[in-house]
Amino acid sequence: MTGPATAAPHDPGLAPLLLTGFEPFAGDGHNPSWPAVQEAARRLRDRGVDAVAVRLPCTFAGSTEVLERALAEHRPGIVISCGLAGGRTRVAVERVAVNLQDARIPDNAGAQPAGRAVDDAGPAAYFSTLPVKRIVAALREAEIPAELSLSAGSFVCNHLFYALMARAETSSVRTAGFIHVPWDESAPRRPGRVGAHADDGDRPEPWPTVPGTQLAEALVIAALEAARPTSDLDEPDGSLY
Ligand code: PCA
């Protein structure tokens, strides 16, 4: 297949490409989605792509407000939003946003909705309009661990993804979707014991990580694939469970 290195350059006369990342949450001091998005936007601009990076607060209400402002200000044609999925081992290209808010932890403003809709009047779900299979194939070709994902969860990322897809129907946005990234090398140690033996002590267990430079490159590849005017791959790549 044609790799991203030969992708047609994004026409700078076209609407810009918007990348969003999130601030840290859950008491962590770092969220790899934001440096990855910033670095990806820099690399895309170096290649002549008009790319903008915007940082979103990790709150149900604030994330969509800042997204709305960014959409109004930049009028992007392509939007790729990105968030952290700590514990995942691969870059996860999300396929579906569900109309559900069910938060296991409070967001950064203390909100913790349970079993609520993102939009009472909205459809049960939206599909990503990114070429998700082409993106996963291009990432694997670049030797970046990647997978298609059928669930972006029910926390702030899924909420933002759902709101983005809803807004994409009535705005300049032509192609949009969401990508979850694993922890990068700045992952905190997670509490808990490794192994079953009491004499193991409280040795912190490491999170699975992917280097931040690979996360940034993954977003560059996703953006270039999204900018190519070809349809998605017609190949099976679903999951069995
Ligand atoms: N990850 C969280 C919210 C912000 C982020 O980066 C999530 O997956 O919902």
Residue 161: which CATH number? 3.40.630.20
Q: What does the pLDDT read at residue 46?
A: 97
pLDDT of residue 204: 66
Q: Model pTM?
A: 0.90
Q: Which structural domain range is residue 101 located in?
A: 15-227
Of 94, 155, 179, best ligand 1 pocket probe by most atoms within 8 Å of the beta carbon: 155
Residue 130: CB partners within 8 Å, gap ≥ 6?
A: 80, 93, 175, 176, 177, 222, 225, 226
Using a 6 Å CB cutoff, which residues line ligand 1? 22, 25, 31, 33, 58, 83-85, 153, 155-157
Q: Which residue has the higher pLDDT, 207 or 37?
A: 37
The answer to whether residue 232 sits within a structural domain is: no
Q: Taking 50 as the threshold, does the pLDDT of residue 149 lie above it?
A: yes
Residue 9 lies in a domain: no
Say if 144 falls within a structural domain. Answer: yes
Instruction: Please indicate, yes or no, if residue 8 is contained in any of the structural domains.
Output: no
- Residue at 4 is within a domain: no
- To the nearest 10°, the Cα dihedral for 32, 37, 40, 45? -150
Whether residue 159 is contained in a domain is answered as yes
Query: Quick one: average pLDDT of 33-45?
Result: 98
Q: How many domains are contained in the chain?
A: 1
Task: Evaluate if residue 81 carries a pLDDT over 80.
Answer: yes
112: number of Cβ within 10 Å: 14
pLDDT digits (tens, 9 = 90+) for 98-129: 999 999 999 999 999 999 999 999 999 999 99
15-24, 62-71, 87-96, 196-205, range with the lowest pLDDT: 196-205
168 domain-assigned: yes
For residue 10, being part of any structural domain is answered with no
Q: What pLDDT sits at residue 152? A: 98
